[in-house]
Amino acid sequence: MADRTRTRLLNALKSSGPRTAAELAERLNVTSVAIRQHLDGLQQEELVRFEDVRGSVGRPKRIWSLTSAGHRQFPDNHSNLVAGLLGGVAELFGEDGIEQLIAHREAQTRRHYLDVMSDASGLSDKVAMLAEMRTREGYMAEVVEENEGFWLIENHCSICAAATACQGFCRSELSLFRDVLGPDVTIERKEHQLSGDRRCVYWIEPRG
């Protein structure tokens, strides 16, 4: 049970960002005392850290978040292997080889996404299906509807090593989203993990 609560706690901090112990306790339906015990243990393992934030009134709030080591608890699709392979491709075939590799991956993924979305009845269905596929690929994706548009939120980058080595992968993914959601949709990246943000966030809305 303790290991399960620990895993759920790490997942909650990954998916929802910095939170107080009370907020985490409510989210996980666990007592605040138990949450604080787990947080203390995770802090000793250097997986979480806290910051005391003072508001306009009352005592400071203790806000907990993942450390870099905490983020590394989540899968990154064999980062060392990926980075090594990309380095080898660049050395053997140059930048053209890297671009061909990116284009090949994008084409394969596009075909898969379009096939899955073939029965979608509208933009809402398409975005939901896209988030589900991205979650299966390790991106911890979720959708938040707002007015006429949608926030596609990816709480984890499962290709972070590849994207760090070659930012063409990030460019490719944005292009991929535009292709599969259609020409009548506007997509804009609002947060970007490689730019220092906690996650990648896309705003999606009908064009015009």
61 plus 101 within the same structural domain: no
Q: Regarding predicted confidence, which is higher, 58 or 189?
A: 189
Domain stop point among 16, 40, 71: 71
How far is residue 59's CA from residue 16's CA, in Å, rounded to a whole number?
23
28 plus 102 within the same structural domain: no
Mean pLDDT rounded to a whole number for the chain = 84
Task: Using the predicted structure, report yes or no on whether residue 185 has a pLDDT greater than 60.
Answer: yes
pLDDT at 146 (0 to 100):
94
96 plus 146 within the same structural domain: yes
How far is residue 53's CA from residue 61's CA, in Å, rounded to a whole number?
5
Question: Lowest mean pLDDT: which of 11-15, 49-53, 148-152, 159-163?
Answer: 159-163
83 plus 179 within the same structural domain: yes
Judged by phi (left if over 0) then psi (alpha if -120 to 50, else beta), residue 138 lies in left
How far is residue 105's CA from residue 86's CA, in Å, rounded to a whole number?
13
pLDDT at 45 (0 to 100):
92
How far is residue 144's CA from residue 168's CA, in Å, rounded to a whole number?
27
51 plus 87 within the same structural domain: no
Contact indicator for 70, 10 with CB cutoff of 8 Å: yes
Strand ranges inside 3-160, DSSP E: 19-20, 48-53, 61-66, 141-146, 149-154
Indicate which CATH number applies to the domain containing 124.
3.30.1380
- Number of domain units in the chain: 2
Confidence of residue 190 (pLDDT cuts 50, 70, 90): very high
pLDDT digits (tens, 9 = 90+) for 56-68: 677 888 899 888 8
Confidence of residue 16 (pLDDT cuts 50, 70, 90): confident
Cα 155 to Cα 40, 107, 196, 197, distances in angstroms: 24, 24, 13, 10
Cα 21 to Cα 18, 85, 148, 183, distances in angstroms: 10, 41, 34, 44
pLDDT at 198 (0 to 100):
80
pLDDT digits (tens, 9 = 90+) for 72-100: 787 655 555 566 666 676 777 777 887 88
pLDDT at 201 (0 to 100):
93
pLDDT mean over 184-199: 87
- Residue 170: enclosing H or E segment and its boundaries? helix 168-181
Q: Which domain holds residue 92?
A: 79-206
Domain stop point among 36, 54, 71: 71
Reference 114, options 96, 91, 97, 130; nearest CA is 130
Question: Lowest mean pLDDT: which of 21-35, 75-89, 194-208?
Answer: 75-89
Q: Regarding predicted confidence, which is higher, 88 or 151?
A: 151
91 plus 173 within the same structural domain: yes
pLDDT digits (tens, 9 = 90+) for 109-148: 999 999 999 989 899 999 999 999 988 888 889 999 999 8
9 plus 93 within the same structural domain: no
111 plus 138 within the same structural domain: yes
39 plus 112 within the same structural domain: no
Domain stop point among 49, 71, 93: 71
100 plus 168 within the same structural domain: yes
91 plus 165 within the same structural domain: yes
Indicate which CATH number applies to the domain containing 9.
1.10.10.10
Helix (H, G, I), strand (E, B), or coil: what is residue 205? Answer: strand
How far is residue 32's CA from residue 9's CA, in Å, rounded to a whole number?
12
DSSP per position, 51-93: EEE--SSSSPEEEEEE-HHHHTTS--SSHHHHHHHHHHHHHHH
185 plus 155 within the same structural domain: yes
